[in-house]
């Protein structure tokens, strides 16, 4: 079946630094990648949608200059949290779509100290 590999699974960074999260579709071409954010004991909130080779479309209220999304190929999308602050601490999950429907990564727990 379809697999999306998401790395790192957890990361701790200092306030003001940047963190890159990678999502790679291992056995299919991901035409669209969705990036979600999940706060503890809450639902998933869509941050942005990206299509290969195009600029990402951000949801209202999401700072595009802070959450940089790159979808340069059909198998790789990255989310970079720039100048991270403690309020950016959260669980980030990607979801790729292709021939197999929606496939989710395993998530990244980001803690900013």
- Name the residues that contact other proteins, by CB under 8 A: 4, 6, 9-10, 31-32, 34, 41-44, 46, 49, 91, 93, 95, 97-98, 101-102, 104-107, 109
Of 76 and 107, CB closest to other proteins: 107
Taking the least distance from each CB to other proteins, the nearer of 78 and 97 is 97
| Min dist. Cβ of residue 105 to other proteins (A) | 5
Instruction: Please say whether the beta carbons of 74 and 29 come within 8 A.
Output: yes
Q: Which residues, 6 or more positions from 107, have their beta carbon under 8 angstroms from its beta carbon? A: 6, 9, 38, 91, 92, 93
Supply angle C-alpha 48, 6, 34, rounded to 5. 20
State the nearest-atom distance from the C-beta of 89 to other proteins, in Å: 14
Query: Least Å distance between CB 83 and other proteins?
Result: 25
Give ∠ CA 30-23-61 in degrees, rounded to 5.
90
- Tell whether the torsion through CA atoms of 60, 62, 68 and 74 is positive or negative: negative
Minimum CB distance to other proteins smaller for 82 or for 111: 111
Q: How far is the CB of 78 from other proteins (least distance, A)?
A: 17
């Amino acid at each position: 079946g379809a697999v999306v590999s998401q790395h790192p699974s957890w990361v701790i960074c200092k306030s003001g630094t940047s963190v890159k999260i990678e999502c790679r579709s291992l056995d299919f071409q991901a035409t669209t990648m969705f990036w979600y954010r999940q706060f503890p004991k809450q639902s998933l909130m869509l941050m942005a949608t990206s299509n290969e080779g195009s600029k990402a479309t951000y949801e209202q209220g999401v700072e595009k200059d802070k959450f940089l999304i790159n979808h340069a190929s059909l198998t790789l999308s990255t989310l970079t949290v720039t100048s991270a602050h403690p309020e950016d601490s959260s669980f980030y999950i990607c979801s790729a779509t292709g021939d197999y429907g929606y496939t989710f990564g395993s998530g990244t727990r980001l803690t900013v100290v």
